[in-house]
Amino acid sequence: MESGVLFKAATDYMSLVLRFLKERRDITDLAEEMFNSIEEIEMEASFPEQQSTGGATIIAAKVVLPSCSPESRLALIPVYHQALDMLNSYDKLPSFTWMSVRPLFHQYLDSIPNDTPGATQHLTLLIKIFDVMSRSFKVRDDFFSYRHILSAGRVITITLEIIKNVDRDVALRKLALEVLSRIVRQCPPDSAPVISILISGILGGLLRVTKGSTVNADLLENTIALFRDAIVLVFGDKAVKFDRSKLDLSTFPAEMHSLFDSRTAEWEKEAVAVINDYIRDLLGSYMIHRVNNVKRAACEMLCQVQGECSQVFGNTLHGCVLSMYTNLRYDEYECFQELAISSLTLIKDQNVIERYFYRELETISRRMPVQTRNGHGERALNVLSAVLSGLGEAVTLMCATESDTIEQLLRCIADCVVIDKKLLQITSEGVSETIEKELRKFKLLYNQSHQSVRHVCKVLVNLGKFEVIHMVHNLMKEETASRRATYHLLLAYMLSAMERNESSADEPIILMLAEYLVHDTNRACVYYLKEDENPYGQDFDNDWSTCIECLSCTNVALCMKFVGGAANRSHITINSLCTILNQTNSRTWVVAESAQFALMVLADNEKEVMINVHEMLRVYSSYILNTVSLACASSEDYHLAPLLLNAYLRYAEIDDQFEQCRIIVEKMLYALDSNEQKYTISLLQAIRTFMLALNKQYADHQPIVPPEDSEDQKYMPTPQHILTEKILLRTKHMLTSPHLPVRLTTLAILRECLVLVQYYDDALLPMIHQNWYGIMTIVKEKEPTSLTSAYELIIEMAEKSGTFVHGKVLNEFWPEVEGYLIRCLKKENDVHTADYRLVVKVIDRLPDLIAHSGITKQEADRTAFKFLNAAIEDQRTFTSFSQTQKTKIEQYFKDLMQVLPYKFEGEVVRGFGRGGKELGCPTANMDDTVVNGLPEKLAVGVYFGTATLDGKTYSMAMSIGWNPQYQNEKKTMEVHLIDYSGGDFYGRRLNGVILGFIREMKSFSSLDELKEAIAKDIEVAKRGTCEKFGKL
């Protein structure tokens, strides 16, 4: 492109614009055409030509704009933006000064329209002019000179009017603030005296912008930041100050002389005082503003003014700085905490800091309780934390001397931190994982914050060390229950905040505190022992003792991390551990949960050598069990023994401590025997827990196999079997206790004992027989809860002893409960009643009862099926379930018939000798291996079949079971060989085949009646064999 084309096009268009204006024609389309044409050829022109064209367009504004209407000015704004872009820097044109730009600038500044779109375009153009000025140092310096101060003043006046006008759009007000900020932020340091002449108007106007409750947050933030920059620009320690002696007043208009004359030292003093008030005003409104950016802007403004204008403001802002520190030192946001810490370094005189904080400490002690009850307790505690941090070592000294000031302060904190006991037991969230979560269970009144309490306690203990803990301990002893609960909470936060180190090990203050807490907790524990009438009930009274017990457990555990010396470790640690274990038995669930958390804390204290609570208790097992043993023999602490054993065995295993546990259990059995023990249920529950642990430790426990050379080949009991037999013998009378919980617990003990001796028949069967009376006593009472437990126990007896209880179930248990169960069927049962649960349990377990006790099809027809049919015919709640269970039982009997024929082979052994002598029907008793190998589904009763001896086959009648006529305690299998005439054949091998069932076992009223039944059985056996094989 030829040189000058761009310039010529621009000047031609400007000539057209002037002609259109002169003819009063609309220039909108022409301005758009000019913009587009220039844009097309602009990039082809050289850079100098672009600058010349841009400069010419700007200069022409002096001629063009005065004739323009508001609409024409708006139409030309894109053209001037284009011109400023081409110019890029005013300094590129040597002859260019501020006077060259001034007409364009003022035409748009002075004619800002009221409508937002138009005003936005005007302000955007002004910002563009300032942007180009920022790259034009010569023009910039010219603008910020005294000669053009009125231009700057005009900008300040017009933009502040827009910014302060709350009726204008927020976006427009922000744009006006951006224009105003260019006056401050683009001012070169040497021109600061020029702005100082206008500073009062700038700061006063900006302050008025911040007033009002609905000021936009972004506008506030930017206004405060500009307020700060203006102060630093004019009053900064490095700022160039106004010097009237350097001015030649003759070069300025007379009306400006008064501006210069007023800038005296007195003016600066008054200005600083006014600005000081402005700053206090801003801080009072926005230092705790809800919007963090506004809050941060206010605080940074103070810090920067104090840091960069200290020579001017001196110590006048120290109070503001210290106030900011106290309010923000423990703010919830870390950025403000860091700002507060750094602000304190701005004050060099430490005496000023100490005097301020001492005054604040006195003021806080008076005002904090009132502030807390007005809902400002969180802020008050944070301020207190900041004041204490500011005082630093002075607090350490006051705590070391047990100063009245610190004592008063602790009492004041206790007034402000009040636990809301009503909210303590609302819902359980399980055992806490952290100390913070545990302590937050204790909701605080007056909207007080746990975080603030934690902060103030951490500061106190970091400065006051163990001495402040000692002071809290002493205060706690003499206070009411509610206040003691508060001191416990404060102690917990203090102990958790202290770091463990070599110097803190075995600190006497901590040792005394731990002993006090252990003693106090153990003293309270007696009131929460389980009573026989109501051991399972929960205490829901929200009293202060509940809070104290919870926190005591936590504090005891926290104290233990400071116990490290061997001399104190065993005594204090064991006492503390036992105390916490005892509290895991508490009737109040929130206390029990706190005790469980405390155990976790204790284990964590020992994490270098232990990994969990179980491992910790294993390490201390001998010490704990020794404590239990001593408590058993104590006239004062006997009540703690079962609680402690119960708690210990819930978390630990017996391991190699069986002998010690055995001694303890025997002592507890003695307590039961003596009838002097008030709390029977606690003893029984401890014994039950012991049996649970024993079964876990010795699962599938077998008796001792006799040596091969022993004359008596009977299996021998282990120490565990012997102890279990003692427990069964000495607790069986508790089955007849008048207290339901005692009966239920004894049934549970019996169940666990049977599990341990299940493989030792010499203990299992006698124990079932001896406890049957007590079980039937429970059954006869028809109390549904205990009856349900007894029913389940009977099934377990049948499962473990085979058909030993067959006759007892048919002749004693079922006749006793059948009528009651049928009556329960006919009730309008609610699903939550004990009767309903009993019937459901009976129906559910009937198939197990029949299978394990060996009930035959005929016996089931007159017992179980009779009951199930009644439930089905009732056509109500249990119909469908009963039909399902009946189907299961019928399938069981079908499967049972598939067991026969059953073959067996074994050695004939000596029996009781009653068959031939008393009954005239000699029998051969099969050895135990044959009896034990019988199919589970083969019910007790009388069978027929064939047997082979010495190669000859005979018809046989055979009984399997316990022979109810003679009440045998051992299951037997007795074979009678029909038409056998030889002598006895002990020790010889007999093999046979069971072919069919004759009848179930039953007792007879006389020996003759029994003989008659045996004769009939032999006849049935002959017929049955003949039907199968013909005459043998």
Q: Give the catalytic positions in this structure.
A: 974
The secondary structure of 10-46 as a DSSP string is HHHHHHHHHHHHHTT---HHHHHHHHHHHHHHHTTS-
Half-sphere exposure of 872 (CA within 13 A, CB side): 12
Task: Provide the sign of the torsion angle of the four alpha carbons 121, 124, 129, 132, taken in this order.
Answer: negative
Based on its alpha-carbon atoms, the radius of gyration of the chain, rounded to whole angstroms, reads 50
User: Which of 302, 312, 315, 310 is closest to 270 using CA atoms?
Assistant: 312
Please state, in angstroms and rounded to a whole number, the distance separating the CA atoms of residues 633 and 637.
Answer: 8
Strand-pair partners of 970 = none
Where do runs of H (alpha helix) occur along 93-191? 98-109, 116-134, 137-143, 149-164, 170-185
656's CB contacts (< 8 A; 6+ apart) are none
Q: Tell me which residue has tokens 């070391």.
A: 400
Q: How far is it, in rounded angstroms, from Cα 409 to Cα 306?
A: 32
- Are residues 230 and 185 in contact, defined by beta-carbon separation less than 8 angstroms? no
Q: What's the rounded Cα separation, in Å, for the pair 141 and 134?
A: 10
Question: What span, in angstroms and rounded, lies between the C-alpha atoms of 545 and 549?
Answer: 6
Q: How far apart are CA 366 and CA 670, in angstroms?
A: 62
Give the contacts of 842 (CB within 8 A, at least 6 positions apart). 791, 817, 821, 867
Single-letter residue type at 717: P
Q: What's the rounded Cα separation, in Å, for the pair 472 and 202?
A: 55
What distance in Å separates the CA atoms of residue 327 and residue 287, rounded to the nearest whole number? 8
Give the helix/strand (H/E) hosting 903.
strand 902-909
Which amino acid makes up residue 9?
A
Cβ-Cβ contacts under 8 Å for 713 (sequence gap 6 or more):
706
The token pair that represents 260 in the structure block: 């210069």
Q: How many CA atoms within 13 Å lie on the side-chain side of 961?
A: 29
CA dihedral 667, 671, 674, 678 (to 10 degrees): 170
DSSP 946: E
Q: Distance (Å, rounded) from C-alpha 319 to C-alpha 315?
A: 8
CA–CA distance, 909 with 923 (Å, rounded to integer): 10
C-beta atoms surrounding 263 within 10 Å = 18
List Cα–Cα distances, 671 to 192, 643, 685, 730, in angstroms.
Answer: 96, 14, 14, 11
Q: Which of 251, 258, 335 is nearest to 293 (CA)?
A: 335
Which one-letter DSSP state was computed for residue 991?
E
CA distance 679 to 637: 13
With both helix axes pointing from N to C terminus, report the angle between 98-109 and 116-134 in degrees, rounded to the nearest 10.
Answer: 160
Is the Cβ–Cβ distance between 765 and 757 less than 8 Å?
no
Return the residue matching tokens 């609960």.
485
Cβ contact 314:274 at 8 Å: no
Q: Which residues pair with 925 in a beta bridge?
A: 909, 974
937 CB burial (10 A radius; 0-12, 13-18, 19+):
middle
* Amino acid at residue number 609: V
How many angstroms separate the Cα of 901 from the Cα of each of 936, 944, 1025? 14, 10, 12
